[in-house]
C-alpha cells in the first residue's frame, strides 16, 4: 500500500482533521457505553452448577466477594482436540487485565462445555491463571446462546448473535455475558455480546489498529492468529 510522503505541516493538517473524527467517535462511544449500563436486567431463576478445579460450584460462587461477574464463553467442545485460536487470543489478555478490574468489583470466569480435566490441560499449556469451569451437559451454554444441539443445527435452528448469524456446523461458539448480584444473593443477567462484539477485549488489535498495516489480515479475519505457543520462534 502506497502512502503519500508530505511535510510536517501537511501531516499536522491531516492529523488534526482525523483527530476531529476520533473525538466525535470517542464521544459517541461514551454515549453508547452509558446506554449499555442502563440496559434492563433479567433475574436468573435457574440454579446453574459447574465443575471447577476444586469441585462443584454455582454461578453465585463465581462472583466471590464481588457484586459483578464477567463470563467468557470459551469454545472448547467435549470430545474435540481443537482449541479455538480466537478464544485463546482473547484470553491471553485476561490475566493482565483482571489485576485491575478485579479491584473495582468485577470478577471473571471462563466457562466451557468440555470436562474440567480438559480445561485444566489447556489452561496449564497456555499458562493462564483465571478461573475456568465446566458447564458439562447443563443448560448454561444453551441458555446463553453459545451452544447448539445437533437437532437444532441439522434443522437450521442454531441461531447465534441474536439471530444475526445462523450456525449449522459448530456445536459451540463464543461470547461474553455479564451478571450482577444483589445483597440477598439474587443474580441478574445484564448484558451479552457475541461475534465481533468481543473485539473490545482484544487489546493487541487496538495496538495493531494504530499501525500503518493494521491487523495484517491478508488471508481473512484473524488469519495470522495462532495459539501463543505455536508462533514461529524468533531467531
DSSP 164: T
Pair 48, 39: CB distance under 8 Å: no
pLDDT at 167: 79
Q: Examine the pLDDT at 235 and tell me if it is beyond 60.
A: no
Other Cβ atoms closer than 10 A to 196:
9
CATH number of 42-203: 3.40.30.10
Pair 104, 119: CB distance under 8 Å: no
Q: Examine the pLDDT at 149 and tell me if it is beyond 90.
A: yes
Q: Are strands 106-112 and 68-73 parallel, antiparallel or unpaired?
A: parallel
CA distance 163 to 149: 16
CA distance 153 to 7: 57
Stated length of the chain: 235
How many CA atoms, within 13 angstroms, populate the side-chain half-sphere of residue 231?
Answer: 12
The residues with which 181 forms a beta bridge, in sequence order, are: 187
Phi, psi (degrees; rounded to nearest 5) at 107? -90, 165
Q: For 44-58, what is each residue's pLDDT tens digit? A: 999 999 999 999 999
Question: Strand, helix or coil at 30?
Answer: helix
Q: For 108-139, what is each residue's pLDDT tens digit? A: 999 999 999 999 999 999 999 999 999 999 99
The residues with which 69 forms a beta bridge, in sequence order, are: 107, 179
Cell of 169: 456446523
Q: Examine the pLDDT at 223 and tell me if it is beyond 90.
A: no
Phi, psi (degrees; rounded to nearest 5) at 159? -100, 135
For 60-78, what is the mean pLDDT? 98
Q: Does the pTM exceed 0.85?
A: yes
Pair 38, 47: CB distance under 8 Å: no
Q: For 171-222, what is each residue's pLDDT tens digit? A: 999 999 999 999 999 999 999 999 999 999 999 989 888 988 888 888 778 8
pLDDT at 122: 98
Amino acid at each position: 500500500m502506497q502512502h503519500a510522503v508530505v511535510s510536517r505541516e501537511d501531516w499536522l493538517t491531516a492529523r488534526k482533521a482525523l483527530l476531529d473524527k476520533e473525538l466525535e467517535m470517542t464521544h459517541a462511544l461514551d454515549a453508547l457505553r452509558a446506554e449499555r449500563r442502563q440496559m434492563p436486567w433479567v433475574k436468573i431463576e435457574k440454579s446453574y452448577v459447574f465443575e471447577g478445579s476444586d469441585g462443584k460450584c454455582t454461578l453465585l460462587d463465581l462472583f466471590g466477594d464481588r457484586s459483578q461477574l464477567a463470563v467468557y464463553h470459551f469454545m472448547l467442545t467435549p470430545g474435540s482436540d481443537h482449541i479455538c485460536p480466537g478464544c485463546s487470543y482473547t484470553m491471553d489478555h485476561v490475566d493482565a487485565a483482571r489485576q485491575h478490574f478485579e479491584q473495582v468489583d468485577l470478577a471473571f470466569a471462563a466457562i466451557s462445555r468440555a470436562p474440567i480435566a480438559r480445561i485444566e490441560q489447556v489452561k496449564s499449556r497456555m499458562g493462564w491463571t483465571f478461573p475456568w469451569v465446566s458447564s458439562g451437559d447443563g443448560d448454561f451454554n444453551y441458555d446463553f446462546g453459545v451452544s447448539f444441539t445437533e437437532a437444532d443445527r441439522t434443522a437450521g435452528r442454531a441461531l447465534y448473535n441474536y439471530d444475526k448469524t445462523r450456525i449449522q456446523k459448530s456445536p459451540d461458539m463464543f461470547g461474553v455475558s455479564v451478571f450482577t448480584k444483589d445483597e440477598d444473593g439474587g443474580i441478574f443477567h445484564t448484558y451479552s455480546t457475541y461475534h465481533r462484539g468481543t473485539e473490545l477485549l482484544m487489546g493487541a488489535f487496538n495496538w495493531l489498529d494504530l499501525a500503518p498495516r493494521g491487523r495484517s489480515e491478508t488471508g481473512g479475519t484473524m488469519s495470522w492468529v495462532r495459539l501463543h505457543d505455536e508462533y514461529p520462534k524468533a531467531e
